[in-house]
Amino acid sequence: MKKSNQEAADKITFKNLRRWYFFALWTIALTIILSQILVQYNLKQQLSDSKIINISGKQRMLSQKIIKEVLILNYVVDNAKKQEIAHLKTVLSLWKNNQNALENGSDTLAFPKEKSETLSKLYREIKPSFNNIAEATNTFLSNLEQQNSFENNQKLVQTILKNESIFLSKMNQIVSQYDIEAHEKVTEQRKIEYWIFAFTLFVLLMEFFFIFKPTNKKIENLIAKLLASEKKALKLAYDTEIISEIKENSVKELKSLNHAMENTLLYCRIAPDGSIIHVGEKFAKLLNYTKFSSNKKFSEVLTTDEKEQINIDRIIFEKQRSGWQGEIKISNKENQTIWLDLSMVPVMIKKDELELLIVCFNITERKKAQREVERLNLENSNEKINQQKIISSKIVENQENEQNRIAKEIHDGIGQMLTGLKFSLESINLEDKEKSAQKIEYLKKLSLDIIKGVRTATFNLMPPELSDHGIVSSLAKLTQELSKLTGKEILFYNKTDFDQRLDSLIEINIYRLTQEAINNAIKYAESSHIIVQLSHSETLLSVIIDDNGKGFDINAVDKKRNSESGMGLLFMKERIQYINGRVFIKSIPGEGTRITFNIPI
């Protein structure tokens, strides 16, 4: 909508600019035509004025010529010839005609009839002298032709000479006046030309600001739009070519897909009433569908069991609008049971024309595999129950052994030291100060050994470091104590500076798992160097125990479930599962073992 409004506005603007443009062109044309008319008129006037000035000057020359010839005929030539008299008559006639044309105007000579007041006055003043000269000359010529007396001609010559000076003076004034008026006309014409020139410049300036500049801007915008449109057109052509190529590829892919669907997928198209429209080749082979069975309903082709047919017809009737997906069991003509994962999708081909697309997957083998898995799971469950019984008995046995070990340590170690402490105290003779002092020193040492034994026993049961300071401090203490007790190099590294407290159940299990792994490295791997590394991320805590022991074959140990080493790894896996963790064991015979515990935090 916005684009159409903009186009309409552009059309209106261009229409107005076109009108102004034509108006400006007509104005300039009219100005040029008017200027040309005025120029031609003034040129014509100037030509007329120059001709008038020329004729006026010629009148003076003719008057002088008349006087000259009159004097020659009167004083020089005794017998006037007809030729000379005729020539004088011609000059006189020309002089009179020119004077008449100057005074009264002439269409032939393009002399104006209207004159200025000054010129009219001058012509009135010169007229008596002109008439006197003309009449005297005519009389003089008549006397010459009739050969009258010389005295009459002498008077006529004096009259001519007397009026000739007045005529020449007035003609000079007339010529000057013509020159003045011609100059005024030229000056006036120059002013008019200046005004026309200024008006033309004004029109051109207005055209520049109100027509050419906006038009130039519009044309620039139009060219920019045309260039952008050209770019878009090129891009559109390129996109069209790509789309055409994609379309061709899509058609090829659709053909390939159709071929693949026909030969790989179990699919068909049916009408909402259950009648078959099309069946794929692979599905037709599975159902033994032929042209002879094309008049049957889909449920009848799918299975021979009537109950199954009724169930399929019910699904088609109820779910033809919403679609359906599920597993169905069918029986073919050979009474073989086939399981299908069937999806029914409604497809609107045309308005109010519905089809159902049926896509199936043969899951018979999967169903068989599921039954086999269920059977194996049942067996595994029984085996797992047996393993749990073994684990429970081993746990009880280990607890008993641990209790016996602790009791033996207390009886053989702490008990005997306490008994020795009792006998030593009873044997002290305070009178013998020297021996008493020796026995007291011995009792001090014995007391320290008893305290150390008690601490070792309690440390093995539940280290106080764990409940007081957390897993990091307890692991550091564990590696330090075991390193002192065993003489092996056992090191602990907190790589990511973990300092969080965890749930007590998680901490005690991490502690026991690490303790078990270190004890295994000491007891079975015969390692001399053990490294315990602790690191963490936002969601995971990792404890890695590396040793340089003799290593072992993990697969061989897994098979020996009843061996002591096999049960130790099993206990680790069971314990790590209590805290939702995972254990990874990597061991190379002759090189060492790495055990990794990953616990979510």
Could you write out the DSSP letters of every residue in 90-147? Answer: HHHHHHHHHHHHHHH-BTTTTB-S---HHHHHHHHHHHHHHHHHHHHHHHHHHHHHHT
Q: Is 331 helix (H, G, I), strand (E, B) or coil?
A: strand
**Does the pLDDT at position 531 exceed 90?**
yes
Provide the pairing of β-strand 353-362 with 592-600. unpaired
**Range from 434-438, 488-492, 527-531 carrying the lowest mean pLDDT:** 434-438
Number of neighbouring beta carbons within 10 Å of residue 597: 23
Residue 7, in any domain of the structure: no
Say which amino acid occupies 111: F
| Residue 422 shares a structural domain with residue 475 | no
Nearest partner of 572 among 547, 541, 596, 546, judged by Cα: 596
Residue 506, in any domain of the structure: yes
Determine what percent of the chain is predicted with pLDDT higher than 90: 12
Q: Can you tell me the distance from the alpha carbon of 564 to that of 537, in angstroms, rounded to the nearest whole number? A: 34
The CATH number of whichever domain residue 555 belongs to comes to 3.30.565.10
**HSE-up of residue 66 (Cα within 13 Å, Cβ side):** 33
| Residue 585 shares a structural domain with residue 472 | yes
Residue 240, in any domain of the structure: no
Tell me the two tokens of residue 61: 């020359």
pLDDT, one tens digit per residue, over 235-245 is: 888 888 888 78
| Residue 399 shares a structural domain with residue 541 | no
The pLDDT-based confidence of 548 (bands split at 50, 70, 90) is very high
Residues 6+ apart with CB under 8 A from 413: 453
Region 106-131: what's the mean pLDDT? Answer: 80
| Residue 405 shares a structural domain with residue 511 | no
The pLDDT-based confidence of 424 (bands split at 50, 70, 90) is low
CA distances from 81 to 72, 87, 144 (A): 12, 10, 9
pLDDT at 396: 44
Structural domain of 387: 364-461
With beta carbons less than 8 A apart as the criterion, state whether 391 and 574 touch. yes
**HSE-up of residue 269 (Cα within 13 Å, Cβ side):** 9
Specify the length of the chain in residues. 601
Higher pLDDT, 373 or 265: 373
The pLDDT-based confidence of 479 (bands split at 50, 70, 90) is very high
Please list the alpha-helical segments (H only) found in 409-462. Answer: 416-426, 433-461
Specify the number of domains making up the chain. 4
| Residue 434 shares a structural domain with residue 553 | no
- Among residues 440, 461, 482, the one where a domain terminates is 461
Q: Name the residue with tokens 């060219």.
A: 223
- Among residues 362, 387, 416, the one where a domain terminates is 362
**Range from 155-169, 208-222, 396-410, 550-564 carrying the lowest mean pLDDT:** 396-410
Q: Name the residue with tokens 């109100």.
A: 210
Range ranked top by mean pLDDT from 267-271, 277-281, 433-437, 532-536 = 532-536
Higher pLDDT, 358 or 2: 358
Q: Is 489 helix (H, G, I), strand (E, B) or coil?
A: strand
DSSP 76: I
Provide the pairing of β-strand 529-536 with 337-350. unpaired
The CATH number of whichever domain residue 350 belongs to comes to 3.30.450.20
The pLDDT-based confidence of 152 (bands split at 50, 70, 90) is confident
pLDDT at 260: 60
pLDDT at 149: 59
| Residue 406 shares a structural domain with residue 432 | yes
**Does the pLDDT at position 429 exceed 80?**
no
pLDDT, one tens digit per residue, over 390-422 is: 655 555 455 545 555 555 556 555 656 666 666
Q: Is 258 helix (H, G, I), strand (E, B) or coil?
A: helix
The CATH number of whichever domain residue 151 belongs to comes to 1.20.120.1730
Residue 150, in any domain of the structure: yes
- Among residues 325, 346, 362, the one where a domain terminates is 362
Range ranked top by mean pLDDT from 19-23, 120-124, 189-193, 493-497 = 493-497
Residue 56, in any domain of the structure: yes
**Does the pLDDT at position 491 exceed 90?**
yes
| Residue 295 shares a structural domain with residue 412 | no
User: In whole numbers, what is the pLDDT of the chain averaged over residues?
Assistant: 79
DSSP string, 563-588: SHHHHHHHHHHHHHHHTT-EEEEEEE
Residue 218, in any domain of the structure: no
Residue 9, in any domain of the structure: no
With beta carbons less than 8 A apart as the criterion, state whether 63 and 91 touch. no
Q: Can you tell me the distance from the alpha carbon of 494 to that of 581, in angstroms, rounded to the nearest whole number? A: 19
**Does the pLDDT at position 292 exceed 70?**
no
Q: How much of the chain is helix, strand and coil, in % rounded to 5?
A: 70, 15, 15
**Does the pLDDT at position 87 exceed 80?**
yes
